[in-house]
Amino acid sequence: MSNTVLETYPFNEEEEKKLILREYRALLRALKERIKKGDKDRIRRAFEISADAHKDMRRKSGEPYILHPLAVAKIVVEEISLGVTSVICALLHDVVEDTELTLEDMEEEFGSTVAKIIDGLTKIAIVVDGNSETSMQAENFRKILMALAEDPRVILIKLADRLHNMRTLGSMARDKQLKICSETTYIYAPLAHRLGLYEIKSELEDLALKYTQPETYITIANGLKETKRERTKYINEFIKPIKEELVKMGLKFDIYGRPKSINSIWNKIRTKHVSFEEVYDLFAIRIILDSENEKEKEDCWKVYSMITNFYRPSPDRLRDWLSVPKGNGYEALHTTVMGAGGRWVEVQIKTQRMNAIAEKGLAAHWKYKEGAPKPQESKLDAWLQQLRDVLSNHKDSDTLDFMQDFKLDLFSEEIYVYTPKGDMRVLPKGATALDFAFDIHSELGARCIGAKVNYKLVPLSHPLKSGDQIEVISSSKQKPGEDWLNLVITAKAKSRIKYYLKEQKREIAEDGKAIVERKLKHLGVPLSSANAHELAIHFKKQSPTDVYYAIAIGNIDVKELKEFKLVGDRIIAPEKIIEVKPIEISEDETLKKPAKGAELVIFGESSDKILYKLANCCQPIPGDDVFGFITAGEGLKIHRSDCPNAARLLSHYGHRVVKTKWAKNKEISFLSGVRITGLDDVGVIKKITNIISDSLNMNMRSISIDTQDGLFEGTIMVYVHDREEFDHLCNQLSALEGINTVERIETSEM
């Protein structure tokens, strides 16, 4: 659900009615091919219920709220390729939450399937979009995955809902934008990726970047705009000979070039330490063939062979997802070739069926299931089954651990490995022999003592590569150990190891429990639930089981029970005397959470001062876009909005975030770092230090330079007053002859 406000926006009622009707008719046109007899009446009824339920509601932008469910329904049809049932659910997705209508009403009107999907959407809306301070985002994530496991349409509609909210995020307050963007990059973009919705995943990431790092987004967007004419000319020249040859080959095709997403370009700039102009693959050429099912592979390889006659391919950049599709059903042939002017160009070759799956993901995969070979057909279903297994094994575990474990499976690259019988298994890149054993069967993983990879004996921790054939070696005497958690990366393996460790701990705890029972019996009191919890509180353990375990392994001396007082059947822990020294705290040092909607000023008049710390993970300086985060033990910490930890903090603990802004204070300096690379020329260090110390009169704390093969890489820690001064320093250093890159150190790795 989107936040709403009452009618404060100037509007013309008649024009709004026309706009709503126009959007409704556009939805029906988009759905035209899928509508069967009776469907139109059901859609009309869903629209009327939704319109009536939201008649007095408006979005933050001021527009009528009904336009939101209409837009979500349209995304569901046009961009995810779902049908009538999903459209009805999209139109009604906020109704149960916002009105007195119940799920029983929905079931009576539209049937049990619609009611079940709306129930899933309502549960997600309550935990994700609600403002409850007690529910962490990790628990929400588990509920989202449970809804996905039950009926994937719940998540597909929710992704459409999130996409429209991201497209209209401009009217929201800054702190809301940051929270929503963090949820999007942390949860929804990875889910879209795993479900094969690449277009939606890219747009979600681009929109998140637009609001979290607006300057970066605008710079890259402008760069793409300015180079559009040049790119178009280059693409046309590149595809001209390919087009002519495809016609000669008698193939039906579409061929076009399109720019990479802004977020992917930014990732390359950031990870490869290059400028916008140096990102060589700003665009990709797509060749979409109209081929019959049985000739798809043959035609794609023919086209690849033809392209390599014109352009030289990069041998290590060939990606064959025809023979072995990705786990989410994606099929294509990718190659990177050297075009005119020494520019690398990525070429993607796929058929119309493959392209539909690439753009519509899970929904299109199911649509084309009937004509697909068996191994490809089962991949997504196998992943959903694995998801159900992991969820059932993780019921009692820590939700934050679960989220971190499972997130690795969502966004990781895949490898393809084989059993001794030749059956293929898909695992995330970096998976080990122990991951493979757990992937085959939980009991096999728990008894694994080693493996043979390509007939060679390897340890449990051996990392696997695509094409490896693995034989698991097991022993009935083997048991999982705590260190096993460091040997695996898959959510399934981690969850099963934690389960086995918990079971082992429970068995040992039974011995400790028997010791406690005997001791308490000797004292004349029973081991009741109340007494067990009294022990847990006294010994500072999370549960009585932890107390019993600690007693069994000797960490707690059972003799301490003598110090407990006996009151009837109860034991009362002895009081601990703690000497408390009074601490004087001035008014300026008192940490206060501001009133809702207020802004914290980090520097200003004395009345605005507040006890705070600058986060080491991102080292913010005045001028950076920042937010405040109230920690449990260290008071207020200031983080940059693009901090590596920002998405996790904003997603998990949104209620602890406070709006923060800088007030100028030239009296205080902040430590910041610069990474610099260039040619290892005589006198280059002197030039750098002259700029910092003499020209800019800055205080430098440290400088570290490493040279290799005629190049140098260095880090400089320098004190600056604000972002403006830091940017000026970077510009001055970049202007020096022989300097290749100058960038801010993103984390405190010094």
Q: Is 725 a catalytic residue?
A: no
* Inside any domain, residue 205: no
Q: Look at residues 605, 639, 661 and tell me which one is the last residue of a structural domain.
A: 661
Report yes or no: 588 and 609 within 8 Å, Cβ to Cβ: yes
> In 10 A of CB 338, how many CB atoms?
13
Separation of alpha carbons 365 and 357, rounded Å: 6
Same domain, 721 and 733: yes
Question: What is the pLDDT, as a whole number, of residue 405?
Answer: 53
Report yes or no: 478 and 446 within 8 Å, Cβ to Cβ: yes
Domain extent for 606: 587-661
Same domain, 354 and 233: yes
What is the dihedral angle through the alpha carbons of 418, 420, 422, 428, rounded to the nearest 10 degrees? -10
Catalytic residue among 23, 63, 97, 139: 97
Question: What is the pLDDT, as a whole number, of residue 709?
Answer: 72
Same domain, 510 and 472: no
Same domain, 491 and 515: no
Question: What is the pLDDT, as a whole number, of residue 139?
Answer: 55
Question: What is the pLDDT, as a whole number, of residue 393?
Answer: 56
Question: What is the pLDDT, as a whole number, of residue 147?
Answer: 61
Q: Is 471 a catalytic residue?
A: no
* Inside any domain, residue 581: no
The dihedral through the CA atoms of 200, 202, 205, 208 has a sign that is negative
Same domain, 674 and 649: no
Same domain, 242 and 363: yes
Q: Decide: helix, strand or coil at residue 131.
A: coil
* Inside any domain, residue 204: no
Q: Look at residues 372, 404, 435 and tell me which one is the last residue of a structural domain.
A: 372
* Inside any domain, residue 314: yes
Q: Which residues of the chain are under the pLDDT cut of 50?
A: 1-9, 130-136, 366-378, 396-400, 577-598, 603-608, 748-750
Same domain, 492 and 411: yes
Q: Look at residues 449, 470, 498 and tell me which one is the last residue of a structural domain.
A: 498
- CA distances to 67, 87, 679 from 71, rounded to whole Å, are 6, 10, 54
Beta bridge partners of 711: 679, 708
Q: What is the pTM of this model?
A: 0.63
Same domain, 645 and 599: yes
Catalytic residue among 16, 98, 139, 471: 98
**Cβ neighbourhood burial of 41 (10 Å; 0-12, 13-18, 19+):** exposed
> In the chain, how many domains are there?
6
